[in-house]
Chain A
Amino acid sequence: MTEPEGLEAPGRRMENTARPPSRLVVQGLTVAVAGSGAAVIEDVSVEVAAGEVLGVVGESGSGKTTLGLAMVGHARRGLKIASGSVRLDGTDLLSLPPAELRRLRGAAMAYIPQDPSSAINPALRVGGLLTEVLAAHGRTGPEAQARLAEVLTEVGLDSRPALLSAYPHQLSGGQQQRVAIAMAFACRPRLIVLDEPTTGLDVTTQRTVLETVARMCASYGVAAVYVSHDVVVVGELSHRVAVVYSGRVVETGATTDVFGTPAHPYTQGLLRAVPSPERSGRLVGMEGVPPRPGQRPRGCSFAPRCPLVIERCTVAMPELIPAALAGQLARCVLVETGQAQAGALAAGPAEPDLAEPQESAAAPVLQITGLDAFYGHRQVLFGVDLTVPPNTCVAIVGESGSGKTTLARCVAGLHTNWTGDLRYGGQPLPAGIRRRSKDVLRGIQYVFQNPYASLNPRRTVGGLIAQPLETFAGRRTRVGDNQILDALRSAALSVEVVNRYPDQLSGGERQRVAIARTLAVAPALLVCDEVTSSLDVSVQAAVVELLRRLQQEHGLAMIFITHNISLVRSVAQQVVVMHDGQVAESGTVADVLDHPRAAYTRQLLDDVPKFSAAMTGASDA
């Protein structure tokens, strides 16, 4: 495999003893809901030195964005910073008057938000955006122009007039994010907080943005805080890491230590859930969601989800105490009692026993030959060939715009503007739902990308699953019918959710309901369109594992569409790599991922963020 250490991050293994004095010191920080006083983040203490990158990692709902904002002295509307201090080079940001704080923002500290397209003013051109930042801090005239050109070059954009006069919407997502980075670095800040700046970007774009961030942080010597749900990205980029769960730091230390020998069960769980394009370990997910502010249990917040929970966990919140390695702290009673088991990466179960793809003469469930698809007059698919043999999962991998979702929608009958030959069970598949027989509609089931959108919020889970049953069986189905309960059970849901509404379920549970709805009608072909992309990594692992199991147990033919090539090994036997509406490469998973022939596949594999050798080495030991 390629050298995983792809980023320039000099001195990433900074010794704890030789650390320079901290530039940002956060002590006992609590941010609470303004009305009820429920703490969103509680008693957080972290430090960041100049030239150091601190990774803040946690699931959605853990409070990591709130923490990131509090570090620049800001609380979102409805929240207030209740206690604690945030010191930047000794100045307590929280005691500064607003005007003073505003002067520091942009100049001494900067914040890069998640979505650049909504964070930069769409009415200003790129030149105007940067000039505005510089002018706000007293830099105008030729000096400002020179600085503007300099910082744009540094982030890998040029300062040609064409770019300076472009509006944000004319730039790609990666370019927008680089403009946001340039704006943040324009006034040479001492502290910079990056909140998931690569979420929503393709792996290749993510790679270039991460490289830019790493280079900029190193060359400017800023104290950087990188907030992300993605442990691998944080592992690649940061020197030290703080794992946040339910508003508290549950583990912190040097990145290689924390991710190499994680002490807290939550960190271990996060790491176990990470898919890898190289290892084909079975993914182990963590179900559930972090408890909401005001509803946190009395003891350890993680206790309800913890596989290693003991009685003591529910008594009181454990303290953050030293763990195995120097400078590594964890908030867990098992650490206290010395029972913590390290080595999360190694703890994953062995290879998933994915049945070898059947090369036999069995008739394929779905055969696509020469599929061209169009949006209006624009062609988005060019002569795509695809075969789905029975009892096989075919993964379709590609970046956004590669046409993978259009392909799925053609199969499902949602997209009708196509030509070519689609055969389902040997019979030609007509375009459009209304022209398909009931048997075909029942046989091809589709799971949508976003479970927050694909379930009718006004129907109970039972009602949602009853709907296709009624349509296909043509008789009334009661909510308590065995078919419905069986479908819930096979999707690993408890039957008690049958009377719940979608918004009473977590994201993972919702996606399971969507899967149960398709299973209820016993499909022959299951089309899964990016079904995990809106879920946390820990939940993604559980859902992927469920799909893998269902595919094997029910002997389903499955199309698994994803932008994440790392997931492929965990679920599929065959893979099709798509690029610009064409098939770049296809074959068995082992062939394509181990010996990629197409340059594009190699690039995809290279651009996937990976743990450094130090961390994976620790896990192999």
Chain B
Amino acid sequence: MAAPPAQRAAGPRVRRREWLHVLAAAARTPRGITGAGLALLVVLVAAIGPFVAPHPPLAFVTVPGSGPSSKFPLGSDILGRDVLSRVLDGGWQLLLMAAAAMLIGVVLGTAAGIAAAQLRGWRDGLIMRTVDVVLAFPQLVFALLLVSILGPERWLLVIAVGFSHVPQVARVIRAAALDVSERDFVKAVEITGVRQSKLMSGEILPNLLTPLMVEAGLRLTYSIVIMTGLSFIGFGLQPPSPNWGYMINENRIILTTNPWAVVAPALLIAVLTVGLNTFTDAIARVALGIERGEKLIVEAAVTGAVTDIEIPA
């Protein structure tokens, strides 16, 4: 009775590792190429930089605040250290910490959001009102508060920034999970009497792929911004080890003699965040089918179930 294979939807749509397919699809759009290119450029600088830096980042090598020269292409900083070497060496820590903070924020925020959506009732109220209270503080201020309580240790900094993401992520994920939890396929499993935790992890979570990917991209960008922000005001990574945020702060005074000491790290941060954001945008667009423009609703079936055709490229 079953229809022959020829009549089925064409093309294998692989669901395991679907996030990889979304990434790949996003990377094929112009927007995605631009974003990924910009971000990867900076990531490359941060990753390879420490190995190719011409001078030790902490060594005092020349006159403080001197402009670019053949030996020091980006000049020297306020204490006479090589700006190029410090820029090359000052990114990897920041990136790793930002990524770690993003993971903490997305994992905890997702757990809280799904739980609130699925459990409903007083637990939803408790989770979301807590979230509301935290949201009342600007994220940087909240992170600052945590850092000032926890102290400026590197791992405490990661935890503080990660925590500051939780409310935002929880809000977005709860909204998406509310939609999924009302769908029949969740009810169909629910009436077999499985545990709530299994419903959340097995049925709801896998259907939140799109918002999760977008949130991860956004939170990574925010992590970088907040980490550099904290460093700028002296609460982040402590000197003398180089980092882009603190470099902008300490070299403000020599902006007139060697602007590169400020501009170079600022430029890297700007390119990285713009690139990440653009790529995240591409992911969101691909996931919504906007960028593809090839999804076409052909016929609404009897009660609004929609069949779509995919046009071979």
Q: Which residues of A contact B (CB under 8 A)?
A: 33, 35-36, 38, 40, 60-66, 76-79, 114-115, 199-200, 229, 287-289, 291-295, 297, 304-305, 412-414, 433-434, 436, 438, 441-442, 446, 448-450, 452-460, 467-468, 471-472, 492-494, 497, 500-501, 503-507, 509, 514, 517, 533-536, 542
Contacts and interface: CB of A to CB of B under 8 A. Distances in A.
Contacts of A62: 299
B149 interface: no
Contact of B207 (A229, A413, A458): A458
Nearest to A500: B8
B298 A433 contact: no
A288 B305 contact: no
Secondary structure at the A interface, as helix, strand, loop or mixed, is loop
Contacts of B202: 467
B97 to A, nearest CB: 32
B3 A289 contact: yes
Nearest to A413: B191
A199 B1 CA distance: 28
Nearest to B180: A456
A297 B3 CA distance: 14
Contact of B1 (A36, A468, A542): A542
Contacts of B304: 115, 534
A293 B207 CA distance: 29
A534 B311 contact: no
Interface stretch (B132-140, B182-190, B273-281): B182-190
B302 A492 contact: no
B92 to A, nearest CB: 35
Contacts of A294: 309, 311-312
Given A36-B312, A458-B207, A533-B302, A448 B13 contact: no
Given A471-B192, A493-B2, A533 B184 contact: no
Contacts of B189: 456, 467-468
Contacts of A457: 15, 185, 207
B185 A454 contact: yes
Given A305-B3, A456-B185, A446 B302 contact: no
A324 B4 CA distance: 31
Contact of A199 (B6, B192, B302): B302
Contacts of A64: 299
Most buried by A among B3, B9, B18: B3
A535 to B, nearest CB: 7
B203 interface: yes
Contact of B192 (A76, A414, A472, A503): A472
Most buried by A among B8, B9, B192, B313: B192
A454 B298 CA distance: 22
Interface of B: 1-4, 6-10, 13, 15, 18, 183-194, 202-203, 206-207, 293-294, 296-307, 309, 311-313
Contact of A35 (B4, B186, B300, B311): B311
B210 to A, nearest CB: 12
B303 A450 contact: yes
A534 B188 contact: no
Given A456-B185, A536-B301, A503 B312 contact: no
A494 B206 contact: no
B13 A501 contact: yes
- Report, nearest first, the 9 A-B pairs whose CB atoms are least far apart: A288-B3, A458-B206, A454-B184, A452-B305, A78-B296, A453-B184, A60-B301, A456-B185, A494-B2
Nearest to A290: B7
A446 B309 contact: no
Contact of A506 (B8, B203, B294): B8
B298 A297 contact: no
Contact of B3 (A287, A295, A503): A287
B6 A297 contact: yes
Contacts of A293: 298, 309, 311
Contacts of A289: 3, 7, 307
B18 to A, nearest CB: 8
Given A414-B191, A446-B191, A503-B13, A304 B7 contact: yes
B188 A446 contact: yes
19 contacts: A62-B299, A65-B300, A115-B304, A289-B3, A293-B309, A295-B6, A413-B191, A442-B192, A449-B303, A450-B184, A450-B305, A453-B183, A453-B185, A455-B185, A467-B189, A504-B8, A504-B13, A505-B8, A514-B188
B3 A456 contact: no
A507 B301 contact: yes
Most buried by A among B4, B9, B188, B309: B188
Contacts of A441: 191-193
A60 B4 contact: no
Given A446-B188, A448-B184, A456-B206, A33 B8 contact: no
Contacts of A288: 3-4, 7
Contacts of A291: 6-7
Contacts of B312: 36, 38, 294
A534 B191 contact: no
A413 B191 CA distance: 7
A287 B1 contact: yes
A60 B193 contact: no
A448 B191 CA distance: 12
A63 B297 CA distance: 11
B98 to A, nearest CB: 29
Most buried by B among A449, A453, A460, A542: A453
A442 to B, nearest CB: 8
A459 B202 CA distance: 9
Given A60-B301, A456-B206, A506-B7, 12 more contacts: A35-B294, A36-B312, A60-B307, A288-B7, A289-B307, A293-B311, A294-B309, A304-B7, A453-B185, A455-B185, A534-B301, A534-B304
Given A200-B303, A506-B7, A433 B2 contact: no
Contacts of A459: 206
